[in-house]
């Protein structure tokens, strides 16, 4: 079972979803318990994976790969799709984050009363899809998981969201589906352009069906391909990440060959493919100007989905930038450093200004997510070890802190069904525990030293300043986002928690504390561990950098 621990990480939530769907008892409590037990087992599987992971290695570990689909199609060669999973220092922290956030989300779903069977079945389907995205090492498999996330999220927002849930769900679906189509186009082009050297060597008889291939055999096969000595029907095309990242596996004169001189509308086809992939993942991150679905989805989604959406789903966009966009198109990424850096800077500053102008607490947090994800793009665009490490750190930090922030917004909304900042004052007098934890989340999110937010932003900026291809003014202007974060978080904290207590709803002033009670035991059980984790990551950044550092260093050297 341990030999297939990665498969288990995907299978456990999917089996849990099947159990919820098939469970004969219609009592809501049973569906909650099944989902909770499923995520506990998933957490234990993640702990097992952590114990098996070798932190001193830079490459992929715990790999699983079997042939899934092999289909000869005549002159177009052989279609080869593999069920391939692996984990390395780039994906490992995000898998741990995903398991944590998904567990927090299922516990915060305890008050869901409407159509609980459907809710928890969809939630577990979403959980398995998210984990699968971080583990997949075959582009076709990754795309299946990436697409499959759309349906559960669409229905979870559309059925269990707020008053404008249908609009928010449709907007989320259309934006993300458009981005997915751009990714699909490039995926097909990559498949037509690259071959699997190992399987092709077997087809042409260089090695036996069960024999391993030596490096010399692979080099000889790649030389034969470059010289056109292999018939088209013997070429085994592939979606495997490892093969798509190697220029030697591309067919000469193919559409996305590294030596391709093909232009479309005056733009090199590889550069065009790079930007198609970038836009596809930019929608998910999101990056300005394709970000407008996010505030609507955050505001209308129920609290558990508001936790999961920024906590982990947005991180698939950042992961896609690193693993796929930069991994398959490194030269184009370096060439596009300035426009990518400018987009990151705009997202940081624009998101900050919008957050400063919000009166809705959830919308303010949503725009802060746009700003903080801009730092991820800035670090990735820098194409330096510090920048990539900082981007991964920022994703993990934001995952923890955004989950905490939306849980805190959910606490106040559950009590009053009101998210307007201006309607609260002096909450410290009636909700002291809530005030303390909100202060921790706010100060950590604005980048106070000692918390994880500071480390992530520091390293992305360091990487950007050290980049050979990025002008200094881009990271310099990006620092304005830190100032804006301090402004909107401190402004919100001062407005809501200081002064004499009062609460106003629908233009009627209420001087009562009966509704605004302090944190329950379940709420404290969710918020306090997240606060401790944000502090630990801020004080001991080596907990994360020891995992990401060797892989990122090796990864950048391989691309250059």
359-412 per-position pLDDT tens digit: 999 999 999 999 999 999 999 999 999 999 999 999 999 999 999 999 999 999
Q: Is the pLDDT of residue 49 over 80?
A: yes
- Cα dist from 244 to 30, 194, 224, whole Å: 45, 6, 18
Q: What are phi and psi of 68, to 5 degrees?
A: -110, -55
DSSP letter at 514 equals S
Asked, for residue 484, whether it belongs to a domain, the answer is: yes
For residue 306, which of 393, 369, 348 has the smallest C-alpha distance?
369
Hey, what are 418's tokens? 């009101």
pLDDT tens-digit readout, 194-242: 988 888 888 888 777 777 777 788 888 888 888 788 888 888 889 999 9
Q: What are phi and psi of 414, to 5 degrees?
A: -60, -30
Residue 40 neighbours by CB distance under 10 Å:
13
- Cα dist from 140 to 81, 188, 350, whole Å: 7, 9, 35
Confidence of residue 514 (pLDDT cuts 50, 70, 90): low
Q: Is the pLDDT of residue 507 over 60?
A: no
Range of the domain at 434: 336-560
If one counts the domains in the chain, the total is: 1
| 471 vs 468: CA distance, rounded Å | 8
| Maximum separation of any 2 CA atoms in the chain, in Å | 84
Asked, for residue 549, whether it belongs to a domain, the answer is: yes
pLDDT tens-digit readout, 85-101: 999 999 999 999 999 99
Q: Are 374 and 345 in contact (CB under 8 A)?
A: yes
| 25 vs 411: CA distance, rounded Å | 30
Hey, what are 189's tokens? 């082009």
Beta bridge partners of 370: none
Residue 521 neighbours by CB distance under 10 Å:
6
Asked, for residue 250, whether it belongs to a domain, the answer is: no
Helix 92-108 vs helix 542-559: angle between axes, to the nearest 10 degrees?
130
Asked, for residue 136, whether it belongs to a domain, the answer is: no
Mapped onto helix, strand or coil, the DSSP state of residue 390 is helix
Quote the distance between the C-alpha of residue 534 and its chain's center: 18
pLDDT of residue 1: 57
- The HSE-up count of residue 13 (CA atoms within 13 Å, CB side) is 25
Asked, for residue 284, whether it belongs to a domain, the answer is: no
Asked, for residue 310, whether it belongs to a domain, the answer is: no
Mean per-residue pLDDT over the chain, rounded: 90
- Scored b (16 or more CB within 10 A) or e, 124-159 reads bbbbbbbbbbbbbbbbbbbbebbebbbebbbbbbbb
Asked, for residue 424, whether it belongs to a domain, the answer is: yes
SS in 3 state form for 284-334?
Answer: HCCCCCCCCHHHHHHHHCCHHHHHHHHHHHCHHHHHHHHHHHHHHCHHHHH
Asked, for residue 444, whether it belongs to a domain, the answer is: yes
DSSP letter at 64 equals E
Tokens 């928010």, located at residue: 168
pLDDT tens-digit readout, 233-280: 888 889 999 999 988 889 888 888 887 778 888 888 999 999 999 999
| 432 vs 198: CA distance, rounded Å | 63
């Amino acid at each position: 079972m341990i030999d297939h621990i990665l498969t288990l990480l995907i299978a456990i939530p999917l089996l849990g979803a099947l159990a919820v769907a098939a469970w004969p008892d219609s009592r809501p409590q049973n569906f909650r318990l099944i989902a909770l037990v499923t995520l506990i087992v998933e957490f234990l599987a993640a702990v097992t994976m952590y114990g098996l992971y070798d932190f001193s290695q830079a490459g992929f570990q715990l790999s699983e790969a079997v042939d899934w689909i092999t289909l000869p199609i005549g002159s177009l060669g052989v279609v080869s799709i593999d069920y391939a999973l692996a984990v390395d220092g780039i994906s490992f922290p995000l898998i741990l984050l995903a398991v944590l956030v998904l567990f927090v989300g299922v516990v915060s779903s305890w008050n869901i009363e409407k159509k609980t069977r459907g809710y928890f079945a969809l939630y577990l389907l979403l959980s398995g899809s998210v984990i699968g995205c971080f583990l997949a090492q075959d582009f076709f498999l990754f795309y299946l998981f990436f697409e499959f996330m759309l349906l559960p999220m669409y229905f979870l927002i559309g059925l269990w969201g707020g008053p404008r849930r249908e609009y928010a769900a449709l907007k989320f679906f259309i934006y993300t589906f458009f981005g997915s189509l751009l990714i699909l186009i490039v995926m097909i082009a990559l498949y037509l352009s690259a071959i699997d050297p190992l399987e092709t060597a077997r087809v042409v008889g260089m090695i036996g069906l069960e024999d391993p291939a030596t490096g010399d055999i692979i080099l000889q096969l790649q030389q034969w391909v470059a010289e056109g000595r292999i018939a088209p029907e013997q070429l085994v095309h592939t979606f495997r990440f490892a093969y798509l990242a190697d220029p030697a596996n591309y067919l000469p004169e193919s559409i996305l060959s590294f030596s391709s001189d093909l232009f479309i509308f005056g733009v090199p086809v590889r550069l065009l493919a790079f930007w198609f992939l970038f836009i596809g993942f930019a929608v998910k991150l999101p990056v300005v100007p394709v970000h407008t679905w996010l505030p609507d989805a955050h505001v209308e989604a129920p609290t558990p989905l508001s936790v999961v959406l920024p906590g982990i789903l947005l991180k698939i966009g950042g992961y896609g930038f690193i693993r796929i966009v930069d991994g398959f198109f490194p030269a184009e990424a370096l060439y596009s450093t300035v426009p990518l850096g400018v987009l990151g800077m705009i997202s940081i500053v624009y998101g900050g200004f919008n957050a400063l102008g919000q009166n809705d607490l959830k919308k303010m947090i949503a725009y802060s997510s746009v700003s903080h994800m801009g730092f991820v793009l800035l670090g990735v665009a820098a194409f330096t070890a510090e920048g990539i490490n900082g981007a991964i750190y920022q994703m993990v930090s934001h995952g923890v802190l955004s989950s905490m922030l939306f849980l805190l917004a959910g606490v106040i909304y559950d009590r009053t069904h009101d998210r307007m900042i201006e309607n609260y004052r002096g909450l410290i007098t009636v909700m002291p525990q809530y005030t303390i934890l909100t202060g921790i989340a706010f100060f950590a999110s604005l980048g106070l030293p000692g918390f994880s937010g500071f480390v992530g932003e520091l390293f992305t900026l360091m990487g950007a300043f050290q980049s050979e291809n990025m002008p200094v003014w881009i990271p310099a202007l990006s620092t304005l986002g830190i100032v804006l974060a301090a402004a909107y978080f401190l402004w919100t904290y001062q407005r809501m928690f200081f002064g004499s207590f009062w609460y106003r709803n629908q233009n009627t002033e209420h001087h009562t504390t009966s509704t605004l009670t302090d944190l329950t035991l379940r709420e404290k059980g969710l918020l306090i561990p997240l606060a401790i984790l944000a502090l630990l990551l801020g004080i001991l950044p080596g907990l994360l950098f020891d995992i990401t550092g060797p892989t990122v260093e090796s990864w950048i050297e391989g691309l250059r």
